[in-house]
């Protein structure tokens, strides 16, 4: 027996008449009303200005719009693996892979890069799954939260736009290190008997 | 203005009535617009928000201190709201029953405005033959109840004509709710008229003149309480807004409505609030009588002050309506019915019997 029955104290007639609840409710709402009306409420304090004129400071770790990033040498980090496209819950990401005869990656050792990378910002829910799943650290949720456009087409951001908005990422350069280690292996003195 | 004196009395009466109708209508419409503003601002302040503080026509720019202050209070917001309603697309879904869909907003709006006709909103203005009431009916209260009960048709028709599940549920709820609470409301005023001895609302006000101690709220507190709660139910205001109940029925009976047709429902709701407040003021708070004295006005200025008194009392009830909305959660449907049929109707009956007994004992 893990259930414990707790006896409720029956409500008095006064309590059942709803009156005490109504009176205390009126008191609480009146207090909030008067505080706001007097301007003592920090939430309704107008002295610092308001959002569209005075934008708020975006906190560190805020999950805004996802953009593609370049590495320190200006190469596209994305290798068109399409993991983000598959995981994207609202199906906002659409990647066109280069195909067998497509353009190779713009950096050494990486096999490929996307021919086109589109994020439909009208669908995107800023969940961060793409960033979570990316093995290349190529896509990051950044600090933009207020994206506007005059048409649906305008809200579909292509690769060029995403890269230019994303900027440079100072993280690891996986393929550069791979290349270095491969080159290192070639010059490594291997004993031959 | 001398020519008015030489006119036929009938023509004079018609002229004065027309002026009064236009004025009452204008004041009621402005009242509705600003009640909406008060609703938004009060709700914002109660919920620690800012509320409308931006709408400002171009000339406000030239007012140094007053302009920004009024803008902050949202004084110009109703104009923007009205303009928005007029300019919005009036969308009629293809599956609705068109005729009923079109007349439902009008039916819900007109009765609310018509109740204002019998309300004495002032004593006299100018001379004693010019009472400040549009229609001084001897059966004023019967007229009001008859007209108010028509209001339910608008909502039921809207629910039926929309041909969609949420409006339908809203319509059903409203028919049950409004009919139930009309009984409690009607019974609560019976005791008032037992005390007064007349159905004419001007006579009811005259009975209460002489100061605050004569007001019927102190002689019939139970009747006032039942009437107040029933008025909340009749006007579909929280805690009795089951016909609308945004959280479960989208928008209830007006889910499928847009633009000016929706605005008519909106207008009807607030006009009904004004009507109900006016009824409460007239029946229980002494109508236009000040808290002291209360003889019919002897001069123009006193006559105007009586109108101000009436409007102030009306404003008190409007604020109460709005205040309660942002405080109480909605009743469950069975609680609503329970409260109406098993609490208020018996209470009102007991009140009638006790009042009648007391009158029988004390009356010679």
Return all residues near A8 (Cβ < 8 A) that are at least 6 apart. none
**Inter-chain touch B49–A33, beta carbons under 8 Å:** no
Determine which of B225, B327, B343 to mutate to test the interface with A (most A C-beta atoms within 10 Å): B327
Tell me if residue B271 falls in helix, strand or coil. Answer: helix
Q: Which residues of B touch A32 (CB under 8 A)?
A: 45-48
Is A24 exposed, middle or buried, given 0-12, 13-18 or 19+ CB atoms closer than 10 A? exposed
Tokens of A43: 């939430």
Confidence bin at B235 (pLDDT 50/70/90): confident
Query: Tell me: the pLDDT tens digits for B270-316?
Result: 888 898 898 888 888 887 878 777 677 677 777 788 888 888 989 99
End-to-end CA distance of chain B: 50
Q: Is the pLDDT of residue B127 over 70?
A: no
Which pairing describes strands A156-157 and A93-96: parallel, antiparallel, or unpaired? unpaired
Q: Return the domain boundaries, chain B.
A: 93-362
The reported pLDDT for the residue numbered A123 is 93
Tell me if residue A76 falls in helix, strand or coil. Answer: strand
Least confident range from A15-19, A102-106, B15-19, B265-269: namely A102-106
* Euclidean distance between CA atoms B39 and B277, whole angstroms: 15
* Euclidean distance between CA atoms B138 and B124, whole angstroms: 18
The reported pLDDT for the residue numbered A103 is 75
Just give the CATH number of A66-173: 3.30.70.3270
The reported pLDDT for the residue numbered A83 is 93
Start-end of H helices in chain A: 13-16, 19-38, 83-87, 129-133, 159-166, 174-187
Backbone angles phi, psi at A90, to 5 degrees: -90, 10
Tell me if residue A54 falls in helix, strand or coil. Answer: coil
Give the H or E element holding residue B104.
Answer: helix B98-114
Q: Is the pLDDT of residue B158 over 90?
A: no
The reported pLDDT for the residue numbered B4 is 67
Tokens of B245: 């109940």
Q: Which residues of A touch B327 (CB under 8 A)?
A: 22, 25-26, 28-29
Q: For B326, which of A29, A44, A50 is closest by C-beta distance? A: A29
Is B80 exposed, middle or buried, given 0-12, 13-18 or 19+ CB atoms closer than 10 A? middle
**Inter-chain touch B48–A28, beta carbons under 8 Å:** no
Q: Which residues of B touch A25 (CB under 8 A)?
A: 327-328
**Inter-chain touch B45–A32, beta carbons under 8 Å:** yes
The reported pLDDT for the residue numbered B257 is 86
Q: Which residues of A touch B328 (CB under 8 A)?
A: 22, 25
Tokens of B13: 């009466």
Number of cross-chain residue pairs from A and B with Cβ atoms under 8 Å apart:
42
Q: Which residues of A touch B326 (CB under 8 A)?
A: 29
Which pairing describes strands B292-293 and B210-211: parallel, antiparallel, or unpaired? antiparallel
* Euclidean distance between CA atoms B175 and B169, whole angstroms: 10
pLDDT digit of tens for each residue in chain A (193 aa)?
A: 688 899 888 888 888 878 888 899 889 999 888 888 777 766 656 666 777 777 878 888 899 999 999 888 888 888 888 999 999 999 999 999 888 877 777 777 778 888 899 999 999 999 999 999 998 888 999 888 888 889 999 999 999 999 999 888 877 777 778 788 878 777 766 666 6
* Closest chain A residue to B331, measured at CA: A18
* Euclidean distance between CA atoms B243 and A176, whole angstroms: 66
**Inter-chain touch A43–B46, beta carbons under 8 Å:** no
Q: Which residues of A touch B48 (CB under 8 A)?
A: 32, 35-36, 41, 43-44
* Euclidean distance between CA atoms B175 and B234, whole angstroms: 10
Give the H or E element holding residue A157.
Answer: strand A156-157
Give the H or E element holding residue A67.
Answer: strand A66-68
The reported pLDDT for the residue numbered A118 is 92
Q: Which residues of B touch A29 (CB under 8 A)?
A: 46, 323, 326-327
A103/B195: higher pLDDT: B195
Q: Which residues of B touch A50 (CB under 8 A)?
A: 50
The reported pLDDT for the residue numbered B234 is 84
Using a CB–CB cut-off of 8 Å, the residues of B that contact A are: 42, 44-50, 53, 72, 323-324, 326-328
B15 close to B4: Cβ distance less than 8 angstroms? yes
Tokens of A80: 């068109």
**Inter-chain touch B72–A37, beta carbons under 8 Å:** no
B273 close to B319: Cβ distance less than 8 angstroms? no
The reported pLDDT for the residue numbered B185 is 87
B353/B57: higher pLDDT: B353
**Inter-chain touch A37–B50, beta carbons under 8 Å:** no
Give the ipTM of the model, two decimals please.
0.76
Q: For A33, which of B45, B53, B324 is closest by C-beta distance? A: B45
* Euclidean distance between CA atoms B189 and B192, whole angstroms: 5
Least confident range from B22-36, B85-99, B180-194, B202-216: namely B202-216
**Inter-chain touch A33–B328, beta carbons under 8 Å:** no
């Amino acid at each position: 027996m893990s259930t414990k029955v707790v006896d409720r104290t029956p409500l008095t007639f006064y309590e059942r008449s709803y009156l005490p609840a109504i009176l205390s409710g009126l008191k609480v709402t009146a207090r909030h009303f008067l505080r706001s009306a007097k301007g003592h409420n920090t939430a309704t304090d107008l002295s610092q200005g308001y959002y569209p004129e005075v934008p708020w400071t975006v906190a560190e770790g805020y999950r805004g719009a996802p953009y593609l990033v370049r590495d320190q040498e200006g190469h596209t980090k994305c290798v068109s693996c399409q993991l983000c496209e598959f995981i994207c819950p609202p199906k906002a990401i659409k990647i066109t892979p280069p195909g067998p005869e497509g353009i190779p990656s713009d950096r050494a050792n990486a096999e490929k890069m996307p021919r086109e990378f589109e994020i439909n910002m009208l669908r995107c829910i800023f969940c961060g799954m793409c960033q979570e799943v990316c093995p290349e650290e190529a896509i990051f949720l950044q600090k933009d939260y207020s994206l506007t456009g005059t048409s649906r087409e305008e809200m579909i951001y292509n690769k060029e736009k995403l890269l230019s908005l994303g900027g440079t990422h100072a993280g690891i350069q996986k393929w550069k290190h791979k290349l270095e280690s491969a080159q290192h292996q070639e010059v490594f003195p291997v004993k031959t008997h | 203005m001398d020519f008015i004196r030489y006119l036929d009395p009938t023509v004079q009466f018609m002229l004065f009535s027309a002026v009064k109708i236009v004025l009452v209508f204008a004041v009621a419409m402005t009242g509705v617009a600003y009640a909406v503003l008060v609703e938004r601002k009060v709700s914002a302040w109660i919920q620690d928000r800012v509320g409308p503080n931006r709408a400002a026509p171009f000339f406000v720019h030239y007012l140094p201190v007053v302009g920004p202050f009024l803008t902050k209070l949202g004084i110009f917001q109703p104009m923007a709201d009205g303009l928005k309603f007029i300019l919005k697309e009036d969308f009629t879904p293809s599956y609705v029953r068109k005729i009923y869909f079109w007349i439902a907003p009008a039916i819900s709006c007109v009765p609310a405005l018509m109740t204002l006709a019998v309300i004495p909103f002032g004593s006299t203005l100018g001379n004693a033959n010019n009472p400040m009431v549009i229609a001084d009916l001897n059966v004023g209260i019967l007229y009001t109840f008859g007209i108010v009960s028509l209001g339910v048709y608008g909502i039921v028709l809207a629910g039926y004509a929309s041909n969609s599940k949420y409006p339908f549920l809203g319509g059903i709820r409203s028919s049950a709710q409004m009919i139930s609470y009309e009984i409690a409301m009607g019974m609560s005023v019976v005791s008032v008229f037992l005390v007064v001895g007349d159905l004419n609302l001007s006579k009811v006000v005259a009975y209460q003149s002489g100061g605050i101690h004569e007001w019927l709220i102190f002689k019939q507190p139970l009747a006032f309480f039942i009437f107040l709660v029933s008025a909340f139910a009749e006007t579909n205001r929280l805690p009795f807004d089951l016909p609308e109940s945004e959280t479960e029925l989208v928008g209830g009976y007006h889910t499928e409505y847009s633009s000016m047709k929706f605005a008519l429902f909106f207008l009807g709701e607030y006009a009904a609030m004004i009507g109900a407040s006016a009824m409460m003021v007239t029946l229980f708070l002494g109508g236009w009588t000040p808290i002291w004295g209360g003889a019919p006005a002897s001069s123009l200025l006193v006559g105007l002050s009586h109108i101000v008194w009436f409007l102030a009392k009306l404003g008190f009830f409007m604020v109460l309506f709005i205040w309660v909305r942002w405080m109480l959660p909605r009743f469950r449907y069975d609680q609503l019915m329970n409260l109406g049929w098993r609490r208020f109707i018996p209470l009102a009956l007991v009140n009638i019997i006790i009042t009648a007994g007391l009158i029988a004992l004390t009356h010679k």
